[in-house]
Amino acid sequence: MNIIKKPSWNISENEVTPEALFNSRRTFLKLGAAALVTSGALIEALAKDNIPVPNLKYLKDKNINNLDLNTYEQITTYNNFYEFTTSKGGVKDLAHTLDTNNWEVEISGLVEKPFTIDVNDLIKKFTLEERIYRFRCVEGWSMVVPWNGFTVADLIKLAKPLSKAKYIRFETKYDDDMFPDQRRGVFGAVDYPYVEGLRMDEAMNDLSFLAVGLYGSILPKQNGAPLRLVVPWKYGFKSIKSISKISFHEEEPLNTWQKSNSREYGFYANVNPNVDHPRWSQKRERVLGKFLKQRTLMFNGYEKEVGHLYNGMDLRKYI
Ligand code: MTE
């Protein structure tokens, strides 16, 4: 018998907000938290944390796994964004140089017709959803984040890739006025622009997400405004921030961390407690704000949704 199982982020149809609304990022929509934020977990979090008034309309995630959300404060003050600094606590104070106005996203490569679009016009094309996801960094820390955005699959439908496209590639904006570490050239923390990629079947999986907000508000700069990837079953470095180019290819793109150290970081980067990083164990993780470490789950707890993508692959080899 073919039983259709609900994916863990499933949103029922009667919860659909009629139209996705994303007004100018400068305009602060005075819609009030209650109109927009209705999930119990969110209301609770809003009350105890210093969260900006939500300014996005989105379909709610029912959080059927009852994931315990990290606070807005935790998510926005402990960041990896090497274009600013390698200090996790330092990113938020430096990120103001990132200017998200007039931000364009170029769609190119193996597509029917390449185009460039203002990020606000792009976002308006989609119904925004909330996705409450576990997020596990390769360094051994993790958090649970309520993202807002749309699926990579929706973006792919808009981009109309040709059938020979086997991979999707993402690139962070290159602008050394905005990103001080890019100015350091060969002495930068990593090679810029930051690049990431997914196999097309990974990108088409419903979990693959492009975030434009968190906790119902547009993304803070330190978290990768105005558009960042979120691939919850992969280590956090796959979740590239501040995307300005998306392209489609026949060949596997060389992602930044693989280029930097292919012995330690690969293309796939699936969260896997059974395959240690060459320098540390991946069996456990520290959730931000918690004292005791917890067990890391295979594919970060999303095995049911994505395990089939890797059937027959040696996950010790394809790191
Ligand atoms: N994207 C860019 N452009 N630059 C970066 O340095 N760091 C990655 C990823 N995306 C990074 C990036 C890493 S290592 C992680 S763990 C996550 O962003 C961190 O996301 P967060 O700061 O929102 O938690």
pLDDT in tens, 135-184: 999 999 999 999 999 999 999 999 999 999 999 999 999 999 999 999 99
**Pocket-testing residue among 74, 81, 258, ligand 1, by greatest number of atoms within 8 A of Cβ:** 81
Tell the residue number behind the tokens 């984040």, with chain if given.
Answer: 145
> pLDDT-derived band of residue 239, with 50, 70 and 90 as boundaries?
very high
Tell whether ligand 1 has an atom less than 6 A from the beta carbon of residue 85.
Answer: no
pLDDT value at 29 more than 90: no
Per cent of the chain over pLDDT 90 is: 83
pTM for the whole thing?
0.88
Per cent of the chain over pLDDT 70 is: 85
> pLDDT-derived band of residue 52, with 50, 70 and 90 as boundaries?
confident
**In the predicted model, what is the mean pLDDT of residues 236-253?**
98
- Using only C-alpha atoms, the chain has a radius of gyration, in whole angstroms, of 19
Tell whether ligand 1 has an atom less than 6 A from the beta carbon of residue 83.
Answer: yes
53, 28 Cβ separation under 8 angstroms: yes
Any bridge partners for residue 211, and if so which?
A: 149, 228
Residue 30 or residue 73, greater confidence = 73
pLDDT value at 103 more than 70: yes
Tell whether ligand 1 has an atom less than 6 A from the beta carbon of residue 126.
Answer: no
Q: Which two tokens stand for residue 210?
A: 């492009």
42, 146 Cβ separation under 8 angstroms: yes
pLDDT value at 46 more than 90: no
Tell whether ligand 1 has an atom less than 6 A from the beta carbon of residue 147.
Answer: no
Q: In what order do the strands lie in the sheet with 195-199?
A: 115-118, 104-109, 243-249, 167-172, 195-199
Tell whether ligand 1 has an atom less than 6 A from the beta carbon of residue 80.
Answer: yes
Tell me the H-state helices in 108-199: 119-124, 152-159
pLDDT in tens, 178-212: 999 999 999 999 999 999 999 999 999 999 999 99
Any bridge partners for residue 115, and if so which?
A: 107
pLDDT value at 57 more than 90: yes
The Cα 196–Cα 169 span in angstroms is 6
pLDDT at 82: 98
pLDDT at 2: 46
Tell whether ligand 1 has an atom less than 6 A from the beta carbon of residue 142.
Answer: no
pLDDT value at 114 more than 60: yes
Residue 51 or residue 110, greater confidence = 110
pLDDT at 305: 98
CB count within 10 Å of CB 40 equals: 9
Kindly list the structural domains of the chain, giving each domain's residue range(s) and its CATH number in brackets, ordered by start: 59-310 (3.90.420.10)
> pLDDT-derived band of residue 270, with 50, 70 and 90 as boundaries?
very high
Tell whether ligand 1 has an atom less than 6 A from the beta carbon of residue 296.
Answer: no
240 CA to centre of ligand 1 in angstroms: 6
The Cα 46–Cα 162 span in angstroms is 44
pLDDT at 297: 98
Q: Which two tokens stand for residue 42?
A: 């969110």
238 CA to centre of ligand 1 in angstroms: 8
**In the predicted model, what is the mean pLDDT of residues 38-43?**
61
pLDDT value at 21 more than 70: no
pLDDT at 28: 30
pLDDT at 146: 98
Residue 152, burial from CB neighbour count under 10 angstroms (0-12, 13-18, 19+):
buried
Tell whether ligand 1 has an atom less than 6 A from the beta carbon of residue 145.
Answer: no
**Pocket-testing residue among 241, 243, 259, ligand 1, by greatest number of atoms within 8 A of Cβ:** 241
pLDDT at 53: 87
Q: How many residues does the chain have?
A: 319
